[in-house]
Chain A
Amino acid sequence: MTRIIDHPVLGRLENRNVISFQFDGNSYQAYDGESIAAALLANGIRKLRVHEESGSPRGFYCNIGHCMECRVTVNDHSNVRACLTVVENDMIIQSGKQLPNLLKKGGQSNE
């Protein structure tokens, strides 16, 4: 995906600092201060994890922290919400793979 650089009302995106991070072993670039979910989407990556039981792919859904669909592992911390977490230089991000903390969702599965 690409950025929305020019906008008729919101104006032009100002030049921001470019940083680099890793996702599943590959290097990507992001803008300073943006969320992991936004940075990955800007790099064309929608799939943030697979469902722990079915293996079906998942991406962000609500983008504001409510649904827990965007869980990734950040510098070895698992279950981090990609839509709320600011990407940082040299951050090592891995797609969600391990068993979820089911209690976080009130014991319900995602299906």
Chain B
Amino acid sequence: MNDVIVIGCGPAGLSGAIACVTYGLKVTIMDEFMKPGGRLLGQLHQEPTGDWWNGIKVSEQLYQQALNLGVNIRCGVSVYNLEKEDQMWKVYTSIGTFEAPFLLLATGAAEYPIPVPGWTLPGVMSIGAAQVMTNVHRVQIGKKGIIIGANILSFAILKELQLAGITVNHVVLPEKNAFSQNAGVPEEVMKSLLNAAHLAPSPLLRFGSSFMKNNWIRKMGLTFYPKKGMKVNGTPLLLRKAAVEIIGEDQVEGVRVIDIDINGNPIPGTESTYEVDFVCIAGGLYPLAELASVAGCPFQFIPELGGHVPHHSESMETPLPGLFVAGNITGIESGKIAIAQGTIAGLSIVKHARKGNNSIDNQLQQAIQNVHSVRKQAIIKFNPDIELGRSKMNELWESLYVKNETPGKMTG
């Protein structure tokens, strides 16, 4: 029988499992993707040192380490429901029902869609889909394409597509509407891009986006933003054009764009069409937390964390006994932080299972400190106010679950 079932074999799930198994707990990881590694698999960034953060390699190391320690890893298994019965969590999966007293949810993140008219045509995909097809499956997504949405993830993946020899002709914004919100407003987009550059000067190296270095842009603002865009590694970033429609018969053939003012309002009579055979939509990431919700975990909307997140403490426990979380399900951050959070969750489970020795509290504190320092050094920040988001959740936890101990909390 399992002591712990981990759902999600990404960086958080793998490192959580490794921490648990190190203390003698019996652990199974389940993941619906065909390979271990989660979204780490497609990641490929150059560090300021010049070294590559190669997600495939990092995944392989974590996977081998987990296997060697005796973690049971099941890929290609989807989990669709969770229930608590007699102190045991029941995990309903595509291959049957499993039980364990402890669950670690490490289901990661999903992408916000931006429903540009025509977005259901074959050839239109999320930017993350392009990353996986390119770096994991190594299949070309097309001959020439366009990215709709200018944010840190779209630039990271633009670079990856370029590395793989895929031609991206333009990056444009989505049309301003209820779905795209600030992503359709050039001024806001520019602000957030500069913000990212300010907080992590090194993305300039990694994404080669020299335009972010240029102070004059900040001063002159978008009014004088060149019509032809500024090049990001050869691909023009058109901050003053928005995609109005994706066109094509049986698959993508082109994208109709229109000029927009700095507030995102279309300028009539400026429409044109770009011929492309693929389109990537970059709408940003949100925590994928459905399973926490079916388990009955309370949620809080914290925009800095990317959306609705399950209530959790700094040691990654939820208010539900035996249920722990780690990684992007708790807020959108980069892969290194997911690894560090997984360790916290694993040690927390060890502590609750009373398997740790006297030093477990110490180790837990160290693991928490480690997340803080990894975060400080993070090169990729999806939200510049991530620390604020994290402290909001900590305060919420303190106020709800620490001052007035709820009866069920200490069990499990």
Contacts and interface: CB of A to CB of B under 8 A. Distances in A.
Residue of A3, A59, A83, A111 with most chain B CB atoms under a 10 A cut-off: A59
Given A47-B122, A57-B122, A62-B111, A10 B54 contact: yes
* Chain A interface residue bracket vs B: 35 or more
B135 A38 contact: no
Interface string B114-155: 000000111111101110111101111110000000000000
A73 interface: no
Residue of B33, B134, B137 with most chain A CB atoms under a 10 A cut-off: B137
Contacts of A67: 113, 126
A26 to B, nearest CB: 16
A63 B128 contact: yes
Residue of A8, A47, A63 with most chain B CB atoms under a 10 A cut-off: A63
B250 interface: yes
B139 A41 contact: yes
Contacts of A66: 110-111, 288
A84 B76 CA distance: 7
A59 B142 CA distance: 13
B76 A4 contact: no
Contact of A4 (B110, B123, B126, B164): B164
A62 B110 contact: yes
A33 B137 CA distance: 10
Contact of B129 (A8, A10, A58, A64): A64
A64 B128 contact: yes
Interface of A: 1-5, 7-10, 13, 33-35, 38, 41-42, 46-48, 51, 56-67, 69, 83-86, 110-111
A57 B122 CA distance: 7
B141 A56 contact: no
Nearest to A38: B137
B332 interface: no
B35 to A, nearest CB: 8
B122 A64 contact: no
A79 to B, nearest CB: 12
Contact of B126 (A38, A57, A63): A63
Contacts of B394: none
A36 B44 CA distance: 24
Contact of A62 (B34, B123, B128, B165): B128
Contacts of A57: 121-122, 250-251
Contact of A47 (B128, B133, B250, B288): B250
Interface of B: 32-34, 39, 44, 52, 54, 56, 76, 78, 110-111, 113, 120-126, 128-130, 132-135, 137-142, 163-166, 250-251, 288
Contact of B165 (A4, A48, A59): A4
A64 B132 contact: yes
28 contacts: A1-B139, A1-B140, A2-B139, A3-B139, A7-B138, A9-B54, A9-B163, A34-B139, A38-B139, A41-B133, A41-B141, A46-B122, A46-B251, A47-B251, A56-B120, A57-B121, A57-B122, A59-B121, A59-B123, A59-B251, A61-B120, A62-B129, A63-B130, A63-B132, A67-B113, A83-B129, A84-B33, A111-B120
A42 B78 CA distance: 26
Contacts of B165: 4
Contacts of B129: 60-64, 83
Contacts of B251: 46-47, 57, 59
Contacts of B288: 66
Contacts of B76: 84, 86
A35 to B, nearest CB: 6
Contacts of A63: 125-126, 128-130, 132-133
Contacts of B39: 64
B139 A60 contact: no
Nearest to B278: A46
A107 B105 CA distance: 26
Nearest to B126: A62
A100 to B, nearest CB: 14
Contact of B138 (A4, A9, A85, A110): A4
Contact of A13 (B110, B124, B132, B138): B138
Residue of A9, A46, A57, A67 with most chain B CB atoms under a 10 A cut-off: A46
